[in-house]
């Protein structure tokens, strides 16, 4: 199933907002989708969670405010908690959803490899000659 872009309503539910500015939300969702496509293109199924996360950060804190005081209340947010950007975790999730990254194996054996022994073997299964000192004459 291909990627389905999240809607403005999806972003409103994600942010738990009763009302949302549709034009602004639509712009942020399109920009977040474009930003995610810089890591993986086409976006895989499930990438809507990353797109919502990116757009949600930008919607709730567009100026990247890190410290705010209103009357007796003050709030300090982590640095880089606003604006439109991808975190390392976002990039990792996109790559994982696309099937990239993680552990893998490489088999260096050629497809034409034969499992039979390449040294001379007699009918009894022993080599014809033994090196001196092994108890065979």
Domain boundaries, the chain: 8-97
pLDDT of residue 132: 66
Nearest Cα to Cα of residue 59 among 3, 93, 90, 13: 13
Write out the chain's pLDDT in tens, 137 residues.
688 899 999 999 999 998 999 899 999 999 999 999 999 999 999 999 999 999 998 888 776 666 678 888 887 766 655 668 888 999 999 998 888 876 777 888 888 888 776 666 555 555 556 666 666 55
**Dihedral angle computed from the Cα positions of residues 52, 54, 57 and 58, in that order, rounded to the nearest 10 degrees:** -110
The tens digit of pLDDT for each residue in 2-37 reads: 888 999 999 999 999 989 998 999 999 999 999 999
pLDDT of 82: 60
Query: For residue 3, what pLDDT is reported?
Result: 86
């Amino acid at each position: 199933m291909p990627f389905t872009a999240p809607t403005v309503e999806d972003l409103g539910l994600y942010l738990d907002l009763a009302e949302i500015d549709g034009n602004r939300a639509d712009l942020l969702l399109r920009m977040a989708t474009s930003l995610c496509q810089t890591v993986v293109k086409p976006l895989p199924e499930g990438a809507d969670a990353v797109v919502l996360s990116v757009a949600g950060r930008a919607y709730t804190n567009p100026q990247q405010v890190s410290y705010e005081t209103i009357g007796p209340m003050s709030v300090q947010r982590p640095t880089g908690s606003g604006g439109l950007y991808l975190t390392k975790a976002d990039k990792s999730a996109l790559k994982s959803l696309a099937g990239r990254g993680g552990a893998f194996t490489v088999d260096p054996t050629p497809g034409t490899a034969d499992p039979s022994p390449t040294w001379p073997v007699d009918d009894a299964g022993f080599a014809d000659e033994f090196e001196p000192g092994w108890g065979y004459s």
